[in-house]
Amino acid sequence: MSYQNANILIQQFVNNYGNTGRSYSVFPFVIQTSTANNKVILDPNTFLRAGGKLRQVRLTYWPILCDTEGDCSTNLCSPGVRVEPKQVMFDITRCFSSKVYSIDKDDIRLLDNNQWDFTNTAKQIIVSALPDLRRGLAIEWETLLYSMAGIHTDGNDEHRITVTNTSTGVVNPIGKLDIEREYLDAGFMSPNILGGQEVYYWKAMVGIGGLNAQGQYINQVDTSNAWYDEGLGDLILNDTANGGHIISIDPQVFKYVYYLENAGIFRTDLLSIEDLGLLYKRGTGDAFIEGTLVDPVTGIAWDLYIKYDVCDHLWTFQFRHRYDFFVMPDIACNIQGVNGIMHWRTCAPVLAPCPTGDAIPSPATAQFFSWTPTLADLPTISQSIIGGFETTQNSPVAITSLADLAAYMNQNSQITFAVNASTIRYSGYTAITATFNNADVTATFA
């Protein structure tokens, strides 16, 4: 053992540390809404000529006839109104990916636990990355759902409803009935519902409900077609103080489809992250894996790409999810713009005053905190403490630009930094300090 390694502390390693099991309800909402109606089967296999070969799909259908009233004085000798099939094209175009991550072979030498081999190290990095990756994908999906919403049957972009009284905790079934009634009047199916905080209160209160003062059995209100997800409220202008948001979808109009590029003949023999060690032990120099990864929490499938560089002794890997959302052709007459996806607003929450009369604080607003570094002071970084997050590098990291410095700080902290003119900044609620190279350089954000 070298003198250097002999003086390294014996370390304890924590596996699966952090919020690794966290999911978002937008995932089951999308998947179950997409598969709830089988009148049109639009699944991943529909788009495949063969494994890994993506094709467009042409849907040919007979349109809804909206001008059907005739005249009893006419007969079959009169010219008929020609009815022709219509066509619409579907193509999977969206892709959401992780960053490209790397593992240095020398880093694994420092892991004192013999169970932490190449594969286990990569699995731990993926487990650590998935919670935030799920959050990013959830926000992207919620953004798409919001952008896809059509108008209501009266031409408005949104309607205001009440599903709970936040000051009393009383459930108001009329809010949900308003949603279902509009879908019934338009000839749609009963919708699935995705909403923010009031949907959470509503589902929780129904679960413990019983006979209310009006003689209604609140616990009989059906909540099986409703999902709570925090992102929907936080996403839209971050304005939940003025009321929450709800998206409702007729299951027969919406489809979610994903596509795996690494399938069929485009899949390597080494298929998953479990094969990372085999990739190295084959001893063939530069080699790669193109396989798949299934998120164990959400069940969402990702394409997985891994490469080993024999010169730099590095594994690099990335995973991507290719997918798309589709809205089926019109199924209702004379309400142009109504597509079966609707946006609703709930009422602003009512906060009860504190018994002592203390004022209720307003939600804090995030602000930008900045630091102006001098690059000449940081030609390399070998150690850092950023917002309490400490890192020691085996080899000093060269810093040649503000972009390099921001990338280093993003890699070695739990804060997202960005370059803004001559400064490094982040958005948050409190200011932090950071030190580099054993406090040779101190960064104070203000």
Report how far residue 149's alpha carbon sits from residue 271's, in angstroms, rounded to the nearest whole number. Answer: 39
pLDDT at 2 over 70: no
User: What integer pLDDT is reported at residue 194 of this predicted model?
Assistant: 94
Cα→Cα distances 24→215, 321, 444, Å: 35, 16, 35
Query: End of a domain among 335, 362, 389?
Result: 362
Tell me which of 73 and 251 has the higher pLDDT. Answer: 251
Domain region containing 372? 367-444
pTM for this prediction:
0.79
Considering the domain architecture, whether residues 51 and 167 belong to the same structural domain is answered as yes
pLDDT of res. 114: 64
Judge if 257 and 372 occupy the same domain.
Answer: no
Query: How does the average pLDDT of the chain come out, rounded?
Result: 84
Q: Which residues contact 115 (CB under 8 A, 6 or more apart)?
A: none
User: Domain count of the chain?
Assistant: 2
Domain boundary among 308, 327, 362: 362
Please check whether residues 344 and 407 belong to one and the same domain.
no
Decide if 399 is inside a domain: yes
Per-residue confidence (pLDDT) for residue 254, from 0 to 100? 93
High-pLDDT (> 70) share of the chain, %: 84
State the pLDDT confidence band at 439, using cuts at 50, 70 and 90.
very high
> Does 424 share its domain with 357?
no
Least confident of 84-88, 201-205, 256-260, 416-420: 201-205
Q: Is residue 401 part of a domain?
A: yes
Phi (first) and psi of residue 123, to 5 degrees:
-60, -40
Does residue 308 surpass a pLDDT of 80? yes
- Residue reference for tokens 């280093």: 408
Which tens digits make up the pLDDT trace of 318-362? 999 999 999 988 777 767 788 999 999 888 776 666 666 666 666
pLDDT attached to residue 79? 83
Range list of β-strands (E), 298-340:
301-309, 314-327
Residue 3: per-residue pLDDT? 43
- pLDDT at 212 (0 to 100): 67
Cβ contacts of 84 within 8 Å, gap of 6 or more: none
| 126 shares a domain with 251 | yes
Of 48-62, 139-153, 392-406, the poorest mean pLDDT is in 48-62
- Given this model, what pLDDT does residue 1 score? 38
Angle value at C-alpha 258, between 255 and 261, nearest 5 degrees:
155
Taking the C-alpha atoms of residue 40 and residue 29, their distance in angstroms, rounded to an integer, is: 18
Whether 311 is covered by a domain: the verdict is: no
pLDDT score of 305: 93
pLDDT at 59: 84
Q: Is residue 3 part of a domain?
A: no
CA distances from 192 to 139, 145, 208 (A): 18, 13, 22
The least confident of 14-23, 51-60, 152-161, 195-204 is 14-23
Q: Is residue 102 domain-shared with residue 193, that is, in the same domain?
A: yes
Q: Is 302 among the domain residues?
A: no
Select from 334, 362, 390 the last residue of a domain.
362
Q: Which of 1-15, 142-156, 357-371 has the lowest mean pLDDT?
A: 1-15
Tell me: do 325 and 416 sit in the same domain.
no
Residues 393 and 246 in one domain: no
Which tokens sit at 191?
């919708």
Better-predicted residue by pLDDT, 27 or 332:
27
Burial group, residue 117, by CB count within 10 angstroms (0-12, 13-18, 19+): middle
Which pLDDT band, with edges at 50, 70 and 90, does 80 fall under? confident
Enumerate the H helices of 164-207 as residue ranges: 173-186, 197-207
- pLDDT single digits (tens) 189-239: 899 999 888 888 888 877 767 766 666 666 777 778 889 988 777 666 566
Q: Residue 37 carries which DSSP code?
A: -
Q: Quick check: is 10 in a domain? A: no
When pLDDT is averaged across residues 308-314 and rounded to a whole number, the result is 86
Residue 325 domain-assigned (yes or no): yes
Claim to verify: residue 244 and residue 380 sit in the same structural domain: no
Looking at the fold, whether 171 and 214 belong to one and the same domain comes out as yes
> Same domain for 97 and 169?
yes
Least confident of 17-26, 248-257, 295-304: 17-26
Is pLDDT at 145 greater than 80 in this prediction? yes
pLDDT at 395: 83
Residues 218 and 250 in one domain: yes
Inside any domain, residue 378: yes
Integer distance in angstroms from the first to the last C-alpha of the chain? 46
Between residues 75 and 293, which one has the greater pLDDT?
293
